Chain A
Amino acid sequence: MQLQYFLLVAAALFCIGVYGLVNSRNAVRVLMSIELMLNAVNLNLMAFSNYLDPQAIKGQIFTIFVIAIAAAEAAVGLAIVLAIYRNRDTVDMEQFNLLKW
């Protein structure tokens, strides 16, 4: 097992997250994609911490913070989605293009 493989998996996961982020029509799926990207980051952090910094394991501390922040962010994100849904009765991202040119 090498560091590169972890990094590649994390990068692949990040790319899948980006794809989902840009392409989903459902707002909740966008939030889910963001979670995917955050998890890819976490994977990175964990891998670096394991292979490069096994003594101080600062990466693992970072990961805990990221998980905590991601939870809070998902809560706020879902609240925003709910707030929009109440007004506009839909969670379709294509319907939220009011602030254009």
Chain B
Amino acid sequence: MKSNDVILQTVTNIVLFIILMFSVFIFFNGHHEPGGGFIGGLMTSSALVLLLLAYDLETVKRVLPVDFKHVTAAGLLVAVGTGMGSFFFDAPFLSQTYGYRHFPVLGELELATALIFDIGVYLVVVGITLTIIQTIGEDR
């Protein structure tokens, strides 16, 4: 007897986009307000976990054909890469800088190398969380 999940699935289809938008918002907020790479990554993972709860593992693998171990590796590579980047400017490892740059449409924006490091953190958190959950959830 399989139960009918029509209500859960329909609500998930709507709420998923709101959660993902909010996770990106919190990720970019991390420089001056509470937020940042870690909590943004966990929020994205929670959205994908909701997808896993509403549908099954095969559907999510068909929608997102990503091996999350590779996502973790890419995140670590980005984080180490920002640390290595400081060697090119004769600065110590993992030193950071920021500057203001004018863009044609967006106007004045603050660019910081810490954001690139944060992207690495974000990818590592998403990759590790979903690897753990998919490994536990799979039938052997």
Q: Are both chains from one complex?
A: no
